[in-house]
Amino acid sequence: MPLTTPTPTAAPPAGLAPHRWLRFAVRRSGRLLVSLWVLVTAAFLMIHLVPGDPVRASLGPTASAELVAARRESLGLDQPLWVQYATYLRDLLTGDLGTSFGSQLPVADTIAQRLPATATLALLAFLVAVLVAVPVGVAVAVATRRGRAPRTELGFASTSVFLATIPDFLLAVALVWVFGVTLGWLPIAGQDGAASFVLPVLALAVGPAAVLARIVRVEMLAVLETDYVRTARAKRLPPAAVHLGHALPNAVTASLTLGGLLLGQLVAGTVLVESVFAWPGLGSTVVESILAKDYPLVQGTVLVYGVGVLVVNTMVDVALAVLDPRSTIGES
């Protein structure tokens, strides 16, 4: 009988050190710094791992030897590796990401110009995914718990699996066809007004929303069977207070870790979706720069995406620490 299953839990000692938040902050930022260092070093090494001479590869076989040598010198590629590394780190700290081979503009400027479109897209998609997935997951969990409404459960399970399997860029193409071409309701390319956001945001949000809704449902089902939810019911609170006030915070906390991974993938997913919708963001920049072998621009954009993912992961951990008072202790 699920209601009488005791959960043996070791009780932590009462009266905890007040500086546990500080410890958490130190530990977490330590991890962030290590990850950042690995990321920056990887971005630096990327250009050196390119087989052959990256400058020659970028300028093409017809470029003169003088031009190649001059470009090498201006990039500092004639220096010893560790000097280049030190220079790279120093420049990074001052916000200097180098100069694009193609446009001869500072990479930082290009990124600053393209980043907002991408960040808006990713953020909106994430919001939509969460705002759809959490209520749906909670509602389906409440409706289908303990084997109730088996048909709702089956419908939800199959729909969500199907939606989660379709990759975002394929969904984007399908959306373009349905809403742009067949129905003609929405613009299918470029960023121009609110309507132009609908399809790209949808394409990015549907997959993560489906996965997240499944996670939330499973976590919610587990939480609804806990002793503390039974306690809440024993207080004779209205069902909404039990489900939203007691069960939901725990289910969301439990869903957060996996949700964070989804968000990271969503950031990367913008590259493909932007390509479908000719979105004026960083995605097309990174693709074009890879194709053009514009290495400084590639380095800069990859770095920005990586930092974006790291920021997302860190935010998830911080949110987890705020929402779940046990998590800061659990780590030590």
Question: Residue 7 is encoded by which pair of tokens?
Answer: 């959960």
The CA-based angle 283-285-290, given to 5 degrees, is: 100
Is the Cβ–Cβ distance between 3 and 312 less than 8 Å?
A: no
Is the Cβ–Cβ distance between 307 and 3 less than 8 Å?
A: no
Assess 185 for contact with other proteins (CB under 8 A): no
CB of 65 vs other proteins, minimal distance in Å: 22
- Which residue, chain included where needed, has tokens 């088996």? 150
CB of 200 vs other proteins, minimal distance in Å: 14
Among 25, 27, 28, 42, binds other proteins (CB under 8 A): 42
Among 18, 61, 95, 238, binds other proteins (CB under 8 A): 238
Among 25, 27, 46, 280, binds other proteins (CB under 8 A): 46
Assess 221 for contact with other proteins (CB under 8 A): yes
Among 18, 80, 95, 147, binds other proteins (CB under 8 A): 147
Number of residues that bind other proteins (CB under 8 A): 90
| Phi-psi map region of 13: left, alpha, beta (phi>0 left; psi -120 to 50 alpha) | beta
Which of 304, 269, 111, 274 lies closest to 191 in space, CA to CA?
A: 274
Residues 12-41 within binding reach of other proteins (CB under 8 A)? 12-16, 34-35, 38
Residues 190-219 within binding reach of other proteins (CB under 8 A)? 214-215, 218
Assess 3 for contact with other proteins (CB under 8 A): yes
CA distances from 296 to 47, 52, 164, 234 (A): 8, 16, 35, 63
Buried b / exposed e over 174-192, threshold 16 CB at 10 Å, is ebbeebbeeeeebbbeebe
Please state, in angstroms and rounded to a whole number, the distance separating the CA atoms of residues 207 and 322: 27
CB of 66 vs other proteins, minimal distance in Å: 25
Task: Measure CA 145 to chain center.
Answer: 31
Assess 241 for contact with other proteins (CB under 8 A): yes
Assess 240 for contact with other proteins (CB under 8 A): no
Residues 93-122 within binding reach of other proteins (CB under 8 A)? none
Assess 324 for contact with other proteins (CB under 8 A): yes
CB of 234 vs other proteins, minimal distance in Å: 4
* AA letter at 66: E
Residues 160-179 within binding reach of other proteins (CB under 8 A)? 165-167, 169-170, 173-174, 176-177
- Which residue, chain included where needed, has tokens 């939606």? 163
Assess 264 for contact with other proteins (CB under 8 A): yes
